Amino acid sequence: MKKYDFDQIIKRKNSVKWDGMDLRYAAHPEEILPLWIADMDFRAAEPIIEALQQRVDEGIFGYEYRPESYFQSVTSWFEKRHHWKVQEDWLLHSPGVVTSLSVIIKEFTNPGDKIVIQTPVYFPFFKIIRQNDRTLVPNPLAIRDGRYVMDFENLEKIIDQDVKMLILCSPHNPVSRVWEKDELLRLGEICFKNGIRVLSDEIHADIVFKNHTHIPFASLGKEFLENTITLISPTKTFNLAGLHTSCVIAPNGEDREKFSRAMDVLDLKSGNCFGQAATEAAFRYGEEWLEQLLVYLEDNAGYTLDFIDRRIPRVKAYKPEGTYLLWMDFRQLGLDRKELRDVLLNKAKVALHYGEWFGTEGEGFVRLNFACPKQILIRALEGIEKAVSQL
């Protein structure tokens, strides 16, 4: 067995995470630790790197088709990891999950139609609904017993005949819930009896911690299979976001045709040769790396929760059930947006995602990405502790 070293600190080049966003506005950008955008500071699994190296060694980068083995690698992964038998002909390629969501919204709904999202949630959902001229209808998550849950009562209240679609984020970014079977069943029951199609963004499906299980929404029954389009990708699981490759799972033949035609019009059906090679290697040979990654991430999560609990008690953190994202409530500090940014960026010297980006419910919250070597995580937490203690 190969032992992967997630403690290794690697200097990244042209990285959005290390060189982008707030870092440019910081007084001393070189001092800032970036724990924001959702990629990891870990070297990818060796079999993926080898597959890419082999592809480079060929030296010809012409047009490629996706071989049978590519589709098999995806379906076998789903069967093994998620106990869902996906048929190869349900799969379609897309350069990214957000691209797919946007194309599906445009193709499957009409301007003015209502689309529900459960806020706080991954902020590009807002953009693609609004920029496609659809009406965004938030169904804010509720907090019960210190845990985020879906608010089914409110969902039933806000549904009318104009609501045509719901985007499910499963597991949920940024609150890091791994939805349970009864929650998903209830959601499906409400959506399907009201003729609402579900787009299930399951990009975080593989990063799930002990005592939690990711359940593919579409796997829950015939009605779920027929009325759900699932978006998945190896890019979060295996840290390959820069390769821009993903899959759409559309078991319903008419949906598949419609999506396929729309992608054809945009000429987005062919992928890049590296994305293809990496996907197949990841799903075929990446499990050993993933298992070790999950142990490391869960340890980072535990360390962070304990640190915050003991040393920054005025901040409340929500225990992640999956993903590598920690949702933290800074409201007790009584800071406005500008003050909180200043404290984090210029005093704590960390770049995090600000909660309001994820919806109004996120005001006063921040999202921390703990997928980094522990040494960096500790420095970031100590920075936050020091900055908060001086308030």
Ligand X SMILES: Cc1ncc(COP(=O)(O)O)c(C=O)c1O
Residues near ligand X (CB under 6 A): 38, 96-98, 122, 169, 173, 201, 203, 233, 235, 241, 246
Task: Strands of 250-352 (E only): list them.
Answer: 316-318, 325-329, 350-351
**DSSP-derived pairing of the beta strands 325-329 and 365-369:** antiparallel
Q: Is 3 exposed, middle or buried (0-12, 13-18, 19+ CB in 10 A)?
A: exposed
CB of 272 to ligand X, least distance (A): 13
Q: Which residues contact 178 (CB under 8 A, 6 or more apart)?
A: 170, 171, 208, 209, 212, 213, 214, 321, 322
Closest to ligand X by CB, 97 or 104: 97
Phi, psi angles (nearest 5°) of residue 168: -95, 135
Residue nearest ligand X (C-beta atom) = 96
Angle at 16 between CA 14 and CA 22, to 5 degrees: 125
Minimum CB distance to ligand X smaller for 176 or for 219: 176
Nearest CA to 207 among 40, 350, 73?
Answer: 40
Query: Toward ligand X, which CB reaches closer, 37 or 143?
Result: 37
Which amino acid is it at 235?
A: T
User: Minimal distance in Å, beta carbon 193 to ligand X?
Assistant: 26
Q: For ligand X, which is the closer residue by CB, 75 or 100?
A: 100
CA–CA–CA angle 163, 169, 171 (5° rounding): 150
Nearer to ligand X, 34 or 96 (CB): 96
The nearer residue to ligand X, 188 or 275, going by C-beta atoms, is 275
Specify the residue, 356 or 385, whose C-beta has the smaller distance to ligand X. Answer: 356
The nearest distance, CB 339 to ligand X, in angstroms, is 27
- Alpha-carbon distances, residue 173 vs 61, 86, 99, 323, 344 (angstroms): 35, 24, 17, 8, 21
Residue 253: closest CA among 82, 74, 92:
92
The nearer residue to ligand X, 102 or 219, going by C-beta atoms, is 102
Tokens of 123: 């902020």
Length of the chain: 391
CB of 106 to ligand X, least distance (A): 16
Strand order in the sheet with 163-169: 91-94, 246-249, 228-232, 197-201, 163-169, 114-117, 135-138
**Least Cβ distance, residue 37 to ligand X (angstroms):** 7
Q: Is 20 exposed, middle or buried (0-12, 13-18, 19+ CB in 10 A)?
A: middle
- Report which DSSP code applies to 306: H
In the bound complex, what is the minimum distance in angstroms from residue 166's beta carbon to ligand X? 14
Determine the Cα angle at 156 with ends 357 and 356, to 5°.
10
Minimum distance, C-beta of residue 239 to ligand X, in the bound complex (Å): 12
For the chain, percent helix, then strand, then coil, each to nearest 5?
50, 15, 35
Smallest gap from residue 125 Cβ to ligand X (A): 8
- Smaller CB distance to ligand X: residue 169 or 340? 169
- Bridge pairing between strands 135-138 and 91-94: unpaired
Minimum distance, C-beta of residue 39 to ligand X, in the bound complex (Å): 8
To ligand X, the closest distance from the beta carbon of 98 in angstroms equals: 4
Q: Which two tokens stand for residue 345?
A: 């960026």
Q: Which is nearer to ligand X, 201 or 206 (CB)?
A: 201
